[in-house]
Chain A
C-alpha cells in the first residue's frame, strides 16, 4: 500500500454543498495527521490537524480512524473560495518529516 493515498478527484460541487474527502495511510505514516490546502502553483498551507476524537474548525471537520487507517475531511456549506487541492499528510519519525498524499482537487461552482 502507498504511504498516503487519496482519490485525486476532481470533485465538482455547487456552492453550499457538503463534500467529503477520504484518505488511507500505511503504518509508516502513522503518528500525526493533517489536512493541507494547496492553491494552484502555491505552497501548501496547513488547514487543520486531525485527531482521533475528531475536530472541527468552522465548516471543516476532520476525523481519524486508526483501526481502519483512514482519515476524512468534511466541508460543509462550500464556498467558491474553497476551490483548491486538499492534501492528506502524515507525520512520521523523530524528525517529524511529512509524507504527502497526491491531493484531491475540489472545484466549487456558482
Chain B
C-alpha cells in the first residue's frame, strides 16, 4: 500500500535558522497539505496546495512560511526564520480531491531551541 513519507523524522534547529521539511506524497494524489500539532494541542491546518500553487492558507501561515513542489514529487515546507513557538509536529497529507479523505505522513518533529 502506498504511503506518504516525510524527512527528517526529527529536526533540531536554533531560533532564527531556516528549516526545510520534506514530504513525498502518494503519486495519484492531487491535493497536498501541511498541518502542524503543537504538543498537547489540536492538529491545525497550515496550507493547501493544488495545481502547483497555494489554494488556501491559514493565519498561522505567515510570510515566514513557504511551500513548493519543485519536481512533481517532493513537497516541501520552508520556515525562513524559526521561532521557539514553531516547535511542533509537522504533518504532510494528501488526497485525490474526489473526497475529503486525506492520508498523512509520519510527521517531522521540529524542535527550535
Hey, which bits of chain A sit against chain B, CB under 8 A? Answer: 31-32, 34, 41-46, 49, 87, 91, 93-103
Contacts and interface: CB of A to CB of B under 8 A. Distances in A.
B18 interface: no
Contact of A43 (B42, B101, B104): B104
B42 A93 contact: no
A41 B89 contact: yes
A94 B107 CA distance: 25
A102 B101 CA distance: 19
A72 B35 CA distance: 24
Given A32-B99, A96-B48, A101 B42 contact: yes
A43 B56 contact: no
Given A32-B99, A34-B101, A43-B91, A100 B48 contact: no
A95 B50 contact: yes
B112 to A, nearest CB: 17
Interface residues of B, number: 27
Given A44-B91, A98-B35, A91 B100 contact: yes
Contacts, number: 60
Contacts of A101: 42
A96 B45 CA distance: 11
B43 A31 contact: no
B100 A32 contact: yes
Nearest to A99: B45
Given A95-B55, A98-B35, A100-B42, 7 more contacts: A31-B100, A43-B107, A46-B102, A96-B48, A98-B33, A98-B43, A102-B41
B42 A103 contact: yes
